[in-house]
Structure 1
């Protein structure tokens, strides 16, 4: 009887460990869109996006820890106008011929209870890496309504300086301050 109890206790302990293991989520590129906006010579706030984003999010709910590793295809910039897409990809701005991708790699994720509220990490654009803190404005973790797999969804934002990333042509006439607004969805692998 005592051996059965000990075996059951070990089985329960190891089963709990398996449940508490970190989960890896693959970014759903069809529902993940980094957007950025800036002041255009005082005339309007321009809002642009990128159409191709890949990466992973590792979430450990029990430890309240996460790791975010994202790659943005900078050649997928979408201004809504093909000629302007090419202009933004030029050497004065994103220089996608030399730097076709941008990356964000988290260094720390801050939780409030069970939900992450901010992500500190390193953003690399045009070969320049700077620390950036993304503020999470919404977060979901649970079954995906259609795929029936565990999923996460989040919205996050930050403000960066484009001159800090060597992309400051026409500043300050064209605003140096750029607001990043990221919509992310990812599904367990």
Structure 2
């Protein structure tokens, strides 16, 4: 019994060391909020509509030696969401849909990264994680891309753009108001411009 406990302790300590090493190899990036946004598309009375929602904050950690070890944690500011129609915006942030007064943020936190066939985060990668909306958390998968600015050197990773896109069912998160007018599917296009922390 004692040997088993000691062995378990050694394994646990070893796992802790590996976890710390993995986290230490990630580079933390800061969000350029002015250059970052979330665009979304939905249908209103059968017609396509679009809107945007600012990124409130983002914790992006990228392991350039092992991209699958990277992490993303993005918070969206629900109260500042807007569409091209004033009445649609008011309905969207109101109690029957996003309820910004009670749930001011939408959060996406990654759990795993599946790289593209070429081993990179551009050209077909996927980030699986948890989306929390109206205090309901559900797993989702987003298509992902990570890009350097045009003309930058291959080893210059100081400034990067993260692109995430996917689709959600708003009713799955309890945001089902005005179902007779507004479609259930919402398409997300997240753009986060990030810069390596000094």
State the TM-score, normalized to the length of structure 1.
Answer: 0.79
- Residue 179 of structure 1 corresponds to 187
Cα RMSD over matched residues?
2.4
Match of 1:114 in 2: 120
Normalized per residue, the structure richer in strand is 1
Q: Return the offset for 1:158.
A: 0.8
Which of 98, 101, 108 aligns to 2:102? It is 98
By how many angstroms is 1:100 displaced? Answer: 0.5
The Cα offsets for residues 108-158 of structure 1, whole Å up to 9 and x where unpaired, read as: 01123132511100000000001010012x42146997xx97022122211
Q: Distance in 2 between matches of 1:92 and 1:104?
A: 22
Question: What stretches of structure 1 move > 3 A for 4+ residues in a row?
Answer: 80-84, 141-145
- 1:170, distance to aligned residue in structure 2 (A): 2.2
Q: Which residue of 1 aligns with 2:65?
A: 62
SS at match of 1:174: coil
Corresponding residue pairs, total: 167
Q: How many Å separate the matches in 1 of 2:28 and 2:61?
A: 4
Tell me whether 1:167 sits opposite 2:167 in the alignment: no
Distance 1:108 1:149, change over 3 A: closer
Give, in whole Å, the separation in 2 of the partners of 1:70 and 1:31: 14
Distance 1:21 1:142 in 2: 23
Q: TM-score, normalised by structure 2?
A: 0.76
1: distance between equivalents of 2:94 and 2:49? 18
Aligned position for 2:43 = 39
